[in-house]
């Protein structure tokens, strides 16, 4: 297993397979995940999205997508962190999260924000964030759908110094 930051031409389809394998996401949500990879391939760093992939035998099996929140100098969004269903429970998500946080801190980021659903099926996701030191900062009732709240988690990276975006 290896981690890479370079986005490659086959990655949009790999992301589609990874996200779909979880059984958590609707088709429109899967399309958004793929769109972010395609935009990054097209625009590079100007897309505002950064990726980390964990490859197993040159095939992506997990990834994170993150970026500096527009109009913020210190706060970063963790847009996606997903592990293929067949590779869950092996610590890949925590490995990706730690590397994502390390990059954010190295770039002067002070905080990482992650949002998720309040639905019961997302309990393992919420437990994952909490196990990794994230705390709930906001809850928006009926955000995604009736009875499906948006929960926003945050973790301080330990760095409050601003450095230019590279």
Please tell me the CATH superfamily of domain 2-156, with its number.
Gcn5-related N-acetyltransferase (GNAT) (3.40.630.30)
Place of tokens 């589609």: 16
The chain-wide mean pLDDT, for the chain, equals 92
- Quickly state the pLDDT bin for 164 (edges 50, 70, 90): very low
Position 58 scores a pLDDT of 87
List CB contacts of 50: < 8 A, sequence separation 6 or more: 5, 40, 65, 66, 67, 103
Position 101 scores a pLDDT of 96
pLDDT tens for residues 42-87? 999 999 999 999 999 989 999 999 999 999 999 999 999 999 999 9
- Quickly state the pLDDT bin for 158 (edges 50, 70, 90): confident
Say if residue 102's pLDDT is above 80: yes
Position 162 scores a pLDDT of 42
- Quickly state the pLDDT bin for 91 (edges 50, 70, 90): very high
Q: Model pTM?
A: 0.89
Measured between alpha carbons, how far is 16 from 126 in angstroms, rounded to an integer?
A: 22
62-91 burial by CB neighbour count: b if 16+ within 10 A, else e? bbbbbbbbeeeebbbbbbbbbbbeebbeee
Position 132 scores a pLDDT of 94
> Which whole-number Å values give the CA distances from 86 to 8, 60, 79, 92, 115, in the listed order?
22, 12, 22, 11, 24
pLDDT tens for residues 110-137? 999 999 999 999 999 999 999 999 999 9
Domain assignments of the chain as residue spans, ordered by start: 2-156
């Amino acid at each position: 297993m290896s981690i890479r930051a370079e986005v490659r031409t086959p990655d949009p389809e790999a992301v589609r397979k990874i996200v779909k394998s979880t059984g958590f996401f609707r088709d429109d949500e899967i399309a958004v995940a793929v769109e972010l990879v395609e935009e990054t391939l097209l625009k590079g760093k100007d897309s505002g999205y950064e990726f980390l992939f964990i490859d197993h035998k040159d095939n992506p099996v997990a990834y994170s997508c993150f970026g500096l929140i527009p109009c913020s100098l210190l706060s970063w969004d963790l847009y996606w962190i997903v592990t293929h269903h067949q590779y869950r429970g092996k610590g890949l998500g925590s490995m990706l999260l730690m590397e994502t946080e390390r990059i954010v801190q190295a770039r002067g980021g002070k905080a990482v924000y992650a949002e998720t659903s309040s639905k019961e099926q997302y309990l393992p996701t919420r437990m994952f964030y909490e196990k990794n030191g994230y705390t709930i900062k906001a809850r928006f009732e009926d955000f995604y759908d009736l009875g499906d709240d948006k929960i926003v988690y945050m973790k301080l990276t330990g760095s409050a110094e601003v450095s230019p975006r590279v």
